[in-house]
């Protein structure tokens, strides 16, 4: 029988390792549970802070728009026209933001990866765009 340097058979060493394994796994699972609990509490705080920040930013934006309308009134524009100018400015900014979102949505489908992972006609329909010519024919002889 093969023995380890201490003179014990290797089977005994494996048995000792198996006996210690539940304690090691238990410790790791305990650490995982504690960290998940801590991460959950942190996530709740993050969400609350993000919501508070959103409310504060919305309030600041309303104050800025009100100030702009008051400046326009001071410059001689009537209140309805000043409010209309602020409304149009807000709508233009919202349109610009949504246009950018639409542009960014294309990249969420991972088009380049899909083009490279799917072959043939299925690739064109999966990626939503035509494929560039392939540098190889893919035949079994290996010729190009």
Cβ 16 vs Cβ 6: under 8 Å: no
DSSP state of 119: -
pLDDT, tens only, 40-75: 999 999 999 999 999 999 999 999 999 999 999 999
Instruction: Please give the angle made by the CA atoms of 62, 68 and 71, to the nearest 5 degrees.
Output: 140
Domain ranges (residues) in the chain: 10-77
The Cα 137–Cα 139 span in angstroms is 6
pLDDT, tens only, 4-43: 555 557 888 888 888 888 887 788 888 899 999 999 999 9
- What is the model's pLDDT at position 34? 92
Cβ 71 vs Cβ 89: under 8 Å: no
pLDDT, tens only, 100-123: 999 999 888 888 887 777 766 555
Q: How many CA atoms, within 13 angstroms, populate the side-chain half-sphere of residue 34?
A: 6
- What is the model's pLDDT at position 21? 80
**Which of 23, 21, 3, 22 shows the shortest CA–CA distance to 11?**
3
How many residues can be counted in the chain?
144
């Amino acid at each position: 029988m093969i023995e380890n340097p201490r003179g014990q058979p290797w089977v005994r060493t494996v048995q000792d390792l198996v006996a210690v394994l539940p304690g090691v796994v238990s410790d790791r699972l305990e650490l995982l549970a504690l960290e998940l609990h801590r991460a959950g509490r942190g996530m709740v705080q993050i969400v609350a802070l993000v919501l508070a920040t959103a409310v504060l930013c919305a309030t600041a934006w309303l104050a800025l728009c009100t100030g702009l309308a008051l400046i326009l009134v001071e410059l001689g524009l009537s209140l309805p026209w000043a409010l209309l100018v602020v409304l149009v400015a807000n709508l233009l900014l919202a349109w610009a933001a949504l246009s950018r979102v639409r542009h960014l949505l294309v990249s969420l489908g991972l088009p380049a990866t899909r083009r490279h992972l799917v072959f043939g006609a299925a690739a064109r329909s999966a990626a939503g765009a035509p494929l560039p010519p392939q540098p190889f024919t893919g035949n079994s002889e290996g010729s190009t």
